[in-house]
Structure 1
Amino acid sequence: MKKWILAILIGVFVIGMWQMWLIYHDASSYEENLANKAVDKAKNHYDLSKVKEVTYYHGNHSYHIVEGLLNSGKHVYIWVPDSEKGKYFKREVKDGISKKKAIAIFNKMHYDAAEITTVRLGIDDTEPVWEVTFLDSKGQYNYVYLYFDNGKEAEHILHI
């Protein structure tokens, strides 16, 4: 009797693990498909020859940010809207502030930042931005947006 119970428990465990893997695989495949569609859209709008990285941003509007090289050799970021009505943005990497520079600018601001959790490219309503997410000394999430072009603060959302 104990062997039957053990066999059933092992079977349930194996089936459960298999189902969890399927769910994970479906979710990651979905994200990968969206990223591939964003790359295709970027290639259709710009003469993109090589893709280095694709990231996702969901603020007021959802965008995939494609980092790559144009046929001319220029290193660019391309903001690809998820919406058909959204506006495309393209900036040369050299024309904006880097992630490292965005962190340096943020560190000079007087925010109660105990830990920076993420720094990623995003978009406000009209301009590319760096989104700096951080935890304050009370453990609350905060967001500061710096314009990609000049590093000036675009907006902040505090104490979430």
Structure 2
Amino acid sequence: MKKWWFIVLAVIVIVLIWYSVHLYRQIDAPKTSNESAAVQVAKEQYSLRTVDNVESYHGSKAFVVIEGTTEKDGRVFVFVGPKHEVKRVKVSDGVTENDRRKEINEQESPKEWVSLKPGIEDDQVVWEAVYIDRKGHYTFDYANFKTGERYKKYSLNQDM
């Protein structure tokens, strides 16, 4: 009798694991599909030789941000919007990620970094820095990509 219960329990666990994996894949599929389509658009429009990084940016508009290289321009960021509108900037035309991180570390002394990535706000390329500041606020700090000048900053209280 114990053996029978063990077999039933094992089958239930296997079915639950299979269903969890299946559900995760269904939830993740649109994101991966959207990113794949954006990479294809970027490759076609800008002849990307390599794709080094792909991530989603969700500001006032959503973009897929592709970091890669082209024969002509070297390292670039390509931003692909939901309607496949595309914008490209050379990485060398802007403030580096390391410089932006260093500037925020010196000025704000964040407790914890969440992310630092390029994005687009009001049709201008920006660095979006997300961190937890000294007071424990969740902070979104935007700076112009080319000049490094602060564009806007939001801090949200985390108290519950």
Same fold at TM > 0.5: yes
Q: Which runs of 5+ in 1 are unaligned?
A: none
* Counterparts of residues 6-155 of structure 1 (less than 5 Å): 6-72=6-72, 74-84=74-84, 86=85, 88-109=86-107, 111=108, 113-155=110-152
Query: Identity rate of aligned residues, in percent?
Result: 25
Q: Which runs of 5+ in 2 are unaligned?
A: none
Other structure's SS at 2:24 match: helix
Q: Out of 47-56 and 74-83, give the one that drifted further.
A: 47-56
Aligned equivalents of 1:100, 1:61: Cα separation in 2 = 25
Q: Deviations over 1:128-154 (max 9, x none)?
A: 111111113454311101111111111
Size of the alignment, in residue pairs? 157
Other structure's SS at 1:121 match: strand
Taking structure 2 as the reference length, the TM-score comes to 0.86
Q: CA deviation at 1:49?
A: 2.7
Could you tell me whether the CA contact under 8 Å between 2:62 and 2:81 is conserved in 1? Answer: yes
Q: CA deviation at 1:74?
A: 2.1
State the superposition RMSD in angstroms. Answer: 1.9
Which one-letter code corresponds to 2:37 in the other structure?
K
Q: Deviations over 1:75-111 (max 9, x none)?
A: 2111111235x4x3211111111111110121232x3
Could you tell me whether the CA contact under 8 Å between 1:64 and 1:81 is conserved in 2? Answer: yes
Which one-letter code corresponds to 1:80 in the other structure?
V
Other structure's SS at 2:7 match: helix
Other structure's SS at 2:153 match: strand
Other structure's SS at 1:158 match: strand
Cα distance change of structure 1 residues 112 and 99 upon mapping to structure 2, 3 Å threshold: closer
Could you tell me whether the CA contact under 8 Å between 2:73 and 2:90 is conserved in 1? Answer: no
Taking structure 1 as the reference length, the TM-score comes to 0.86
Q: Deviations over 1:43-91 (max 9, x none)?
A: 233232322221110111000111112232522111111235x4x3211
